[in-house]
A and B are shown apart, each in its own frame.
Chain A
Amino acid sequence: MGGFGEILITLGILLILFVGWELWWTNLDADRAQTQVTSEFLKDLKVAAPNSSDAPEKNPNQNPNENSNEGDEQGEEQSKDFGPAPITAIPGGETFGIFYIPRFGSNFAHPVTNGVGMDVLNTVGIGHYPDTQSPGELGNFAVAAHRQTHGQVFWDIDKFQDGDKIYLQTRKGFYTYEWRSTEIVSPSAGDVLFPVPHRPGVKPTTSILTMTSCHPPFTTRMRIIAYSELESWRPADAGAPAEIADLVQKTMGN
């Protein structure tokens, strides 16, 4: 076999290895990084609010009437309306929350970090478009993540169905979004990030969550956009919503 043939074979093997790295190895690296960021963030939360997860102890200032109701109805407590959601401020470059998305898997818990540069998306997964609004704010809280490679966090973004919930845990508490619609747009369609998507200059009246990723999988030809609307919220000391309570506990226990 001539040296030229060997070089061609070597190049072929290198190409296959590169594809293997991109599609498989990057997921291992990203999973490790994201698990670590998640547990660090949740550790900070526990320090900030030590009573939030395991709290038989109640706020001493609490109304005694409420205490008598306590333990009465778990279901009532779950559906309680805590009023309008506060705004979670997003410090530059920092991880500020954890997404729990049951449709993406019963163990889906991934951190969300400020910024959509490759430094964020390739390691910590979900990134927040810095020019868009914050959770709880009127307007558009927009995030991006990879559809494939580097943890393929939004792999199942095309699978949302009516009634699907998306949960976001921040320092303030738990935001519950409900999926509304999904669309496919061109990569240059920056107007999906407007406070009211596609409507420049219109004042928002609701808080929405916009998730963006690649479409179709393994290409970058188009973008898939999933819109959800803020439906309710629970303060941190009220505990996680019932649907994700087990997962939150498991994630925080890590």
Chain B
Amino acid sequence: MYSWIFSHLPGPLWVRIVLALVLIAAVILLLMNYVFPWLSQYSPWTESTIGMMLL
């Protein structure tokens, strides 16, 4: 999968390396800002209240 993506990036080797790094950074930012905050409502790790149901 990853080798397929890498081989389909345009340009010489160094351009493809830069593009790959940009793609990785974009995916991480997307995860941190949108996916994980959404996912965390199902995470059981952070409850600190007592005796009542959480929203």
**Contact in complex: B52, A22 (CB < 8 Å):** no
The reply to whether the CB of B31 lies closer than 8 angstroms to some CB of chain A is yes
- Which one of A3, A26, A118, A190 lies within 8 Å of B50 (CB-CB)? A190
The reply to whether the CB of A14 lies closer than 8 angstroms to some CB of chain B is yes
Residues of A within 8 A of B14 (CB): none
**Contact in complex: B48, A119 (CB < 8 Å):** no
**Contact in complex: A25, B32 (CB < 8 Å):** yes
**Contact in complex: A18, B39 (CB < 8 Å):** yes
- Which one of A17, A119, A127, A214 lies within 8 Å of B31 (CB-CB)? A17
In Å, the complex CA distance between A146 and B45 comes to 10
In Å, the complex CA distance between A144 and B49 comes to 6
**Contact in complex: A144, B46 (CB < 8 Å):** no
Considering the complex, which residues of chain B in the window 1-47 have a beta carbon less than 8 Å from any beta carbon of chain A? 1-2, 28, 31-32, 36, 39-41, 43-47
The 4 nearest A-B residue pairs measured at CB? A190-B51, A117-B55, A21-B36, A144-B49
The number of A-B residue pairs with CB atoms under 8 Å apart is: 86
7 examples of A-B residue contacts, CB within 8 angstroms: A3-B1, A18-B36, A22-B43, A117-B54, A121-B46, A189-B50, A193-B50
In Å, the complex CA distance between A185 and B50 comes to 9
Residue positions of A touching B, CB distance < 8 A: 3, 6-7, 14, 17-18, 21-22, 25-26, 116-119, 121-122, 127, 129, 144-150, 154, 185, 187-193, 212-214, 218-220, 223, 225
Residues of A within 8 A of B28 (CB): 17
Residues of A within 8 A of B44 (CB): 220
Contact A149 B54, CB 8 Å, known A14-B31, A17-B28, A22-B36? no
**Contact in complex: B46, A189 (CB < 8 Å):** no
Besides the known contacts A14-B31, A188-B51, A220-B46, 12 further A-B residue pairs in the complex with CB atoms under 8 A apart: A6-B2, A21-B32, A26-B40, A116-B49, A116-B52, A117-B54, A149-B46, A192-B51, A212-B49, A213-B48, A220-B44, A225-B50
